[in-house]
Structure 1
Amino acid sequence: MASFWNRKKDNTDRPDETSQERDENENAPTPHQEPTERTSLLPRDNRQEYLSPDDPAVSPYNLWSVRAVRGLSLFALAVSFVWWTFLLVSVFVSPPLMHSRGSGFFEFAYTTLATAYLVLGLLFFAVPSKAMTILGIVLSILLLVDMIIIVAVPPIRFEEGWVGIASVVWAAVISIYQIIQNRAVTWGKREEEERLTGREETRRTLGEWVVVLFETIVLAIMTIAALLFTATLILRARDLSLEAPGHRYSVHGDTYQVHLACVGNRTENSNEPTVLLEGDWGPVEHNLQPFIDDAYRQGAINRYCYWDRPGLGWSDNAPSPHSAGMSADVLSEALALAEESGPWVVVSAGVGSLYSRLFASRRLLEVVGIFLIDPLHESYLKDIGNPGRGFMLWLRGVISPLGLDRLVGAIVRGRAREDRVVGRSAYQSGKFIKAKLQENLVAVTMTAAEVQSARHIQMGQTPLVVVSSGQEMRKDPEWAKRQEDLSTITNNLLSWDVVRDAPHEVWAVGEGRQVLEKRLREIMQESQARRSD
């Protein structure tokens, strides 16, 4: 024992021994001490030896603080994955209190980004790099800007709700935490290299360079995605500033709002019906409403109302699932809130005809006329509900927060906010995509059953007009048969016209507009006469 201490004293007193060597000798375990975290890998005899930099024992995992950071990352990943799963499910079935008035794809995108960032950090936990720190700082700044936009812009905050706010805050917190994690591992790696190898290791192996390159590329992609999120949010804030004609009404227990507008003054003559529009696949303002507005200005009708189905135009998205019958009920609620009681002549086109037929079957005493323009037959619901179409809609929804098509349209093509809200670019929005996905999910189940029931209870003597596209009928003989079948949904068919050269949007050609306006006048007169009898 005495010789051991004498050797230690002699080593300490050597004039050529550096202070670092003396510190490391002092850290070496004595025969009377248990090895600690910092001394367990050092030699236990009197000789000072360093490990090779490539030795597996040279690892930041040796430090409890680094292991604690990794454990916290694993916990954060578990929380993020659970939240990501809930958001994924909520697109298809809205859990209680988790409905988003917006598309739901933005919060899903932010949570996906946070989850992917955590996975990346854990996969390459022991290989930190300056590139990750720099890109992490840029990503954090972008996510903080997104958080400010969502919280500070009332319409976006209203649409996203607490779910969207929580998701973007979580993504921002994770991005900041990843910077801290990267710095902590870098410190731990340096500490262990200096302790076990005598110096900080500056070289990297080929495998480490490959890892650094891979994680830099992935993080750069995430940063670009966050930049696109920011640009899309700015564009979205611009679009939401567009004022809607009419009013937005809170429906379905104040869960969301729908847009309803009426044009023309009410008259004292309660027998005079009001036209109620139901658009085709897109916002009614872009397809059918301009034609009806022209008819109104020319005196063919005295008053009309139109609305945006949930997810279209100025209306919020509804909770999932959402069927055509639910839309009909929501329209009834909005009309009641607006103190609009009809009587109604429902005018619709394409897939909107299914919605108007359901409304008519549920308001038998108020609907005094049905006008169908190249309507979609319920047998085609199988095409709307095609699983492949549903998957593509979901995929479009997932990437919609990037806003690639909308940004290109705004920057390169000069598309205005009217185009994006109710115009030709409306189909690019996440709200629109979710509405179509909801339509797809229940087309062959709930909606098909609702339309079948509507056909059974439709009032037999309600005046009916059908105007069909000649182009569509020549293109598809099955379409022609189904148009004929739709002319029998009531027992009072006023007319069934086939406009030979008209496309699906019959009002898009002069001949079609003339036929439509003529038939519209006739059904209005017939409906008013029946009310007077």
Structure 2
Amino acid sequence: MSTTHTPSVRSVASSSSTRTSPDEVTALLPPSTHSHPHAHAHPHGRKASVGGRSVSGRSTAGSVRGYGAVNGRHGPAAQAPRVSKQGQRRILTTLPLQAAFFSLVLLTFASFVLTIILFLNTVMDFSIKFLPYRGSGFAEFWVSLIGSWISLGGVLFFSHPSYLFFLTTLIALLLHIPIILLVFISKPLRLAHSPLILIPLTLTALTLVFTLLSNYLVRRAKMLESQRICRMLTDAAGRERAGDENVARALVGVQGRGFWGRIFGFIGGLVGLIAGLAGVIVVTLLLIDFSISAYDGSLPLPSPQSALVRVQPDSAAWPVNVHIACTPAPSNSSLPTVIYTSPSGVPGSLALFPSPLVPSGIDATNPGRWIFDLQEKDQVGRVCTWDRPGYGFSDVLGGADLGIVADSLWLALKGVNETDKSRGLVMVGEGYGGLVSRVLASRHSLHIHSMLHLEAQTASTYFSDPPTTTFLSRLISRLPSSLITPLSLSRLPSVLLRRSNSLSRILASSHPSPNTVRLNEKLQKARLQETIGSLSRSSASFRALLESGRKYPAGKKAIVISSKDRMNKDGVWAEGQRVLAEEVTSEEGLLSWAKVEGVGHFVCEGQGRRVCEDSLKKLLRA
């Protein structure tokens, strides 16, 4: 019997030097050997199944992996897992992918740094020194956070790109485009966010583009490497080419991963999908909120006498618009002008409306409305109310200390020609508004006619030095609810269920109930600023109040109205009201100190309304 020698696989590969290099062949194929004398040729009439697809007559493990085995040795395809890992290491170290990975890491780092800065800015307002903006800064934080989150996913899944992550990132980028258009097209959005928002918008757009580009380049490089390995193996083994794509999938894909590899691959794909969906959801919510804000921004001012006055206090970095509305005075009236400043969380513009805004009940009372009712009866002269910075139709200021708020009111009064010394001003301050009235009166005492304090805050009741744990707990309770406002988690349901309209969203208020503060991110920002300023006796607000004490016109006529029920329950509050009536106001200046029973913090509601009306008319006659 004659023995037939079969050319070695190495010699076959060498004959194909024009298609594969010697180093590649050496890495891919086993040592040369002679075929077994009883070896049979591989049948070409059948195709195996590779991952459920027909490639040859046997399974992937039996056909593709076993093909070319000689003398008990594994065939060339059996080395596919090792080739796959080597191929992956080779393609991920190419210059284009290295550049893409480095750029993505750099953008991710920049996005995280910007996110931290914008987060701190929501509390401390230090970015105002560099970029002016008149919004809350919360939306800018979320835009930057989206870029950080998605780009981090792009870095983590760089070598194992997922189609689902690619798809969700692409959707996030497409949703990012209308946000940019809204910011530029809508004037209210442009005034509130520009130019600060341009930085996170640009950086986030770049991170999304580079994440998509990296995902595409890695998947394309892996596909080309799979095809290259497939051609080398099939050429070296001398078998027919049954389809590069299916064979490559068998050689480089599933077989090289094993059971745990598939498990980890599934978990990685699931995590990538969740990360991408989270980014898409946040972008969608931001887009909805921007759309609602743009629609609400087209609403006209609430009164024919309303005006937006451009003011810039000395300590402000840039000018802002402050809304003030003054009713026309009777032609023959020489009475002083009444200036109403609302309590914390309540826009002054609510006093302009005789009935409460939705979703408040019909029996609710807007704070300060009783003064305008007196004006309609010609019992008082001209009446002005205003929205503090961040409230109602006014822009957000970079800071909410008492000094800058009082200066904003004074500049707004000058803008509507209400600073005439001959008639003077009757300052009516309710709650936190009482502090603002005191600071303004101390800085412009010659223009003050008299003071009416309505359950007003004082230094001992509003400012405190709590322990660090208490301060952090208060901050944590206020900050998260403020930050999530731009996600429209409250606005969208209220719009869909018709629980609010544009006016009630702009004039969101903590009173009357139900509380609608969560519908307005500017108001959330202003209240957050007030809260931070109230938690320390070293704050700018407290220093402004101390300085006002030395110049406060204690001899001007004043009336203090307090809730007797609250004084009985809270000793600190009772002492604060006593100091306001007996020490801040001089003995010759105090006309009366009324302690009203049966009322709460809003002393001019219910049976206390008559007391407030009589007190104001008494001051006007003084």
Q: Normalising by structure 1, report the TM-score.
A: 0.87
Superposition RMSD in Å: 2.7
Aligned partner of 2:95: which letter? W
Which residue of the other structure, out of 121, 127, 135, is the alignment partner of 2:160? Answer: 127
Q: What is aligned with 2:406?
A: 328
Pairing 1:376–2:472 present = no
Distance 1:97 1:13 in 2: 67
Per-residue deviation, residues 473-503 of structure 1 (Å, max 9, x unmatched): 2332322222122112222111111221112
Which residue of the other structure, out of 608, 615, 622, is the alignment partner of 1:512? Answer: 608
CA offset at residue 62 of structure 1? 3.6
Pairing 1:494–2:558 present = no
Alignment of 1:160-175 (within 5 A): 160-175=193-208
Distance 1:153 1:239 in 2: 11
Q: What is aligned with 2:381?
A: 302
Question: Secondary structure at 1:126's aligned position in 2?
Answer: coil
Pairing 1:291–2:382 present = no
Aligned partner of 1:525: which letter? R
Distance 2:413 2:518 in 1: 26
Question: Secondary structure at 1:172's aligned position in 2?
Answer: helix
Pairing 1:279–2:342 present = yes
CA offset at residue 182 of structure 1? 1.4
| Aligned 8 A contact 1:419 1:426 in 2 | no
Distance 1:288 1:478 in 2: 24
CA offset at residue 268 of structure 1? 7.1
CA offset at residue 230 of structure 1? 1.0
Distance 2:137 2:413 in 1: 27
Alignment of 1:134-149 (within 5 A): 134-149=167-182
Pairing 1:57–2:135 present = no
Pairing 1:339–2:417 present = yes
Distance 2:221 2:209 in 1: 19
Q: What is aligned with 1:261?
A: 325
Alignment of 1:132-531 (within 5 A): 132-196=165-229, 199-200=248-249, 201-203=252-254, 205-244=262-301, 245=303, 246-252=306-312, 254-265=318-329, 272-281=335-344, 282-286=346-350, 287-320=366-399, 322-342=400-420, 343-382=424-463, 386-424=471-509, 425-443=516-534, 444=536, 445-488=539-582, 489-491=584-586, 492-509=589-606, 511-526=607-622
Larger deviation: 395-404 or 311-320?
395-404
Distance 2:332 2:613 in 1: 25
Q: What is aligned with 2:242?
A: none
Distance 1:427 1:72 in 2: 39
Per-residue deviation, residues 356-410 of structure 1 (Å, max 9, x unmatched): 1111111100011111111112112346984432333332232221020122222
Aligned partner of 1:493: which letter? L
| Aligned 8 A contact 1:285 1:423 in 2 | no
CA offset at residue 334 of structure 1? 1.9
CA offset at residue 262 of structure 1? 0.9
Larger Rg, first or second structure (1 or 2): 2
CA offset at residue 164 of structure 1? 1.1
Aligned partner of 1:183: which letter? Y
| Aligned 8 A contact 1:279 1:352 in 2 | yes
Per-residue deviation, residues 179-205 of structure 1 (Å, max 9, x unmatched): 222111111222333444661344361
Change (3 A) 1:242 1:290: farther
| Aligned 8 A contact 1:251 1:333 in 2 | yes
Larger deviation: 353-362 or 249-258?
249-258
Larger deviation: 181-190 or 83-92?
83-92
Distance 1:186 1:77 in 2: 21
Unpaired runs of 5+ residues, structure 1, are 1-5, 15-21, 31-38, 527-533
Aligned partner of 1:259: which letter? H
Q: What is aligned with 1:68?
A: 99
Q: What is aligned with 2:71?
A: none
Change (3 A) 1:266 1:87: farther
Distance 2:14 2:274 in 1: 53
Distance 2:496 2:465 in 1: 33
Larger deviation: 236-245 or 287-296?
287-296
Distance 1:182 1:459 in 2: 69
Distance 1:52 1:66 in 2: 23
Per-residue deviation, residues 247-285 of structure 1 (Å, max 9, x unmatched): 11222264322111111237576x521001111012123
Q: What is aligned with 1:35?
A: none
Q: Normalising by structure 2, report the TM-score.
A: 0.75
| Aligned 8 A contact 1:381 1:448 in 2 | no
Distance 1:427 1:483 in 2: 31
CA offset at residue 309 of structure 1? 1.0
CA offset at residue 311 of structure 1? 0.7
| Aligned 8 A contact 1:142 1:226 in 2 | yes
Q: What is aligned with 1:11?
A: 12
CA offset at residue 427 of structure 1? 4.6
Aligned partner of 1:490: which letter? T
| Aligned 8 A contact 1:384 1:440 in 2 | no
Change (3 A) 1:10 1:485: closer
Aligned partner of 1:327: which letter? V
Distance 1:393 1:266 in 2: 44
| Aligned 8 A contact 1:506 1:512 in 2 | yes
Per-residue deviation, residues 395-454 of structure 1 (Å, max 9, x unmatched): 223222102012222222521111111144245322112112222233322211221222
Aligned partner of 1:418: which letter? L
Distance 1:127 1:173 in 2: 21
| Aligned 8 A contact 2:435 2:457 in 1 | yes
CA offset at residue 43 of structure 1? 4.7
Aligned partner of 2:335: which letter? E
Distance 2:147 2:458 in 1: 44
The sequence identity of aligned pairs, in percent, is: 23
Unpaired runs of 5+ residues, structure 2, are 1-6, 33-74, 234-247, 255-260, 351-365, 510-515
Aligned partner of 1:505: which letter? F
Number of residue pairs matched by the alignment? 502
Aligned partner of 1:11: which letter? V
| Aligned 8 A contact 1:266 1:303 in 2 | yes
Larger deviation: 91-100 or 241-250?
91-100
